[in-house]
Structure 1
Amino acid sequence: MRRAVCPGSFDPITNGHLDIIARASKLYDVVHVAVMINQSKRGLFEIEERIDLIRQVTAEFGNVEVESFHGLLVDFCKERDIPAIVKGLRAVSDFDYELQMAQMNNGLSGVETLFVPTNPTYSFLSSSLVKEVATWGGDVAHLVPPVVLEALRERLKKD
């Protein structure tokens, strides 16, 4: 069985993330979405909320498993016998960082990294940008799935 992981914080998941996951789901029998826990960062959404949102928007693919993980991504891969990491690249600046990570991960465990170029429609998109625009009342409906848009609106509602 061909397995891969798409890691990230997904706070929240965007259409760009979803595009990469969808494309990976066509290449692999099982795609694990690893919601990485960073104790030093306080997210807009709790880990379980992110997992729930990701499960909702990836349910149609039928071969996506979503869970959280704290620690090294290569350990996540070893524990689940996952030989490949799938990462989307938006720009050259992403490549510089991701290449170093890929080489480190391969050196630590032999796990390969597959780089997938981002759909140009989403080349500027990040969770941080979505949160900032949404916080200031900007329209992000075209940047996130509808269920995520609703969750964002609810979370950012001003009393």
Structure 2
Amino acid sequence: MTGPGSEGLQLRRAVCPGSFDPITNGHLDIIGRASRLYDVVHVAVMINQSKKGLFEIDERIELIREVTAEFGNVQVESFHGLLVDFCKQRDIPAIVKGLRAVSDFDYELQMAQMNIGLSGVETLFVPTNPTYSFLSSSLVKEVAAWGGDVSHLVPGPVLAALGDRLRRK
């Protein structure tokens, strides 16, 4: 926020973390909803060196930037380590997580309690749009690898990148 009288105003910031390998319409729905609630939404792409993703981190970042550009307040970058450290380094007080099912809640609640205990960073749970309640990146990759139609599950640029990647494998 800039302009007369804006001195001292603090931007409301949140982070949407994940591996996003690849980003799905379910992820995009959560990020879009967070972008309406916060001034700045950071999308933090997890680096897990013990896992080999379908897409490299830089490719994921570019795809996410492309499909979130319409929101205008989303920043995308990678991180390695504790999410609360990412938040502390950027003065982000809130983590936004989508919940698909009760099984997600059990795990995410433990993580939220750990995060607030470690650093005071709050976690907000957003119920997933029922249209995407079954959706995961792993499922998208598996269906696409077997030639299934995932066009309704991922944004257009992701569908094209997924097709290109799977044809090269």
TM-score bracket, normalised by the shorter chain, equals over 0.9
Q: Considering only CA atoms, is the larger Rg found in Structure 1 or Structure 2? A: 2
Find the aligned partners of 1:43 and 1:58 in 2 and give their Cα distance: 21
**Secondary structure in 1 matching 2:26:** helix
In the aligned structure 2, how far is the partner of 1:50 from the partner of 1:36? 10
- Structure 2 residue identity aligned to 1:130: V
Give the Å deviation of 1:158: 5.3
RMSD: 0.7
State the shift of 1:85 in Å.
0.0
| Aligned 1:72-83 pairs, distance under 5 A | 72-83=82-93
Give how far 1:21 is off.
0.1
The answer to whether structure 1 residue 15 and structure 2 residue 15 are counterparts is: no
Question: 1:113 matched to which residue of 2?
Answer: 123
- Residue 6 of structure 2 corresponds to none
Matches within 5 A, 1:131-150: 131-150=141-160
Q: Provide the residue aligned with 1:100 in structure 2.
A: 110
TM-score (norm: length of structure 1)? 0.99
Residue of structure 2 in register with 1:84 after alignment: 94
2:140 corresponds to: 130
Within 2, Cα distance between the matches of 1:75 and 1:144?
30
Counting aligned pairs with the same residue, the percent is: 87
Please identify runs of 4+ aligned residues in structure 1 that moved more than 4 A.
Answer: none
Q: Does 1:5 align with 2:21?
A: no
Gap runs ≥5 in structure 2: 1-10
Provide the secondary structure at the position in 2 that maps to 1:24. Answer: helix
| In structure 1, C-alpha distance between the alignment counterparts of 2:115 and 2:137, rounded to whole Å | 24
How many residue pairs are counted as aligned between the two chains? 159
